[in-house]
Amino acid sequence: MKQIAVVSGKGGTGKTTITSLLAQTLDNKIMVDCDVDAANLHLLLKPNIIQSTDFYSGKKAAVNPFKCTECGRCEYVCRFDAVNRQQEGGYKIDDLSCNGCGACTITCRYEAITLENNLAGKFFISDTEQGDLVHAALGIAEDNSGKLVARIREEAFVLADEKGIDLILIDGPPGIGCPVISSITGVDLLLIVTEPSLTGLHDLKRLLKLAQGFKLPSVVIINKCDLNSDLCSQVEAFCKDQGIPIIASIPFEKELVSIAHEKDVVFQTKAFNIIKDSQKELISRLNL
């Protein structure tokens, strides 16, 4: 099984659009949208959800009003101001503030507080014209996106194994934090999508440092390469200096985002045809 992760560091480089173009050119793969905080690959792939699963992570405190004597000790001990006295009497926990530390449960002499499993989001297995897509939606203000990413990658792996598919295409989240690390750990190839802007170059450098830390082979696509020739040259010089191959440079096409999901017309775009050519390079680098 081979895994390729598409990442960008900076948001807005066109990473997901390029992933969707790759999805249309690569055969026999499972796709995973690891940007669980703000998933958007499904907007381009138009999935039909066939399985939805609750994702539980962490704990939240809950007060049992029948046991609570309203002593107020839990409110005093909570460092997160998550315990609120109600106007009508009794105490309630604010789920958004509670971090599940459990201090209140230890403090309560009446065993009136318990820690409950926290429903942090959902993940889905969907059918698309380009193949199966595993994606997720993390709940509002929930953390643990790294865990959810690990979970959906696991699901994709099992699905690919069941179906005899030997390629997983991952659309990674922006940044270089925990969800990105969770998205790229153990992949066979990192495809970094950058753009000729100062922030694009800055984040390319940060991402490469991360990739080198994990000893991940990397290649680069420069998207919107014609928007700033000076900065494009700087990106090219940096990649050359680091020994990172640039497998494609894609000019800006205003209409691309709006038609990226339309199979019948997207093949006419320059971007699609450039990606189609560069996927041969990806396949050979993956030894598929």
The footprint of ligand SF4 (CB under 6 A) covers 61, 63, 68-74, 78, 80, 82-83, 91, 93, 98-104, 107-108, 110, 112-113
Nearer to ligand SF4, 59 or 285 (CB): 59
Q: Is residue 92 within 8 Å of 63, Cβ to Cβ?
A: yes
Smallest separation, CB 137 to ligand SF4 (Å): 24
Round to whole Å and give the CA distance between 288 and 230.
36
Nearer to ligand SF4, 110 or 214 (CB): 110
Smallest separation, CB 141 to ligand SF4 (Å): 14
Smallest separation, CB 120 to ligand SF4 (Å): 15
Round to whole Å and give the CA distance between 164 and 150.
21
Smallest separation, CB 102 to ligand SF4 (Å): 5
CA 191 to chain centre: 14
Nearer to ligand SF4, 141 or 243 (CB): 141
Nearer to ligand SF4, 111 or 241 (CB): 111
Smallest separation, CB 110 to ligand SF4 (Å): 4
Burial class (CB in 10 A: 0-12, 13-18, 19+), 62: middle
Nearer to ligand SF4, 90 or 186 (CB): 90
Nearer to ligand SF4, 102 or 245 (CB): 102
Smallest separation, CB 229 to ligand SF4 (Å): 53
Angle in degrees, CA 84, 143, 38, rounded to 5: 120
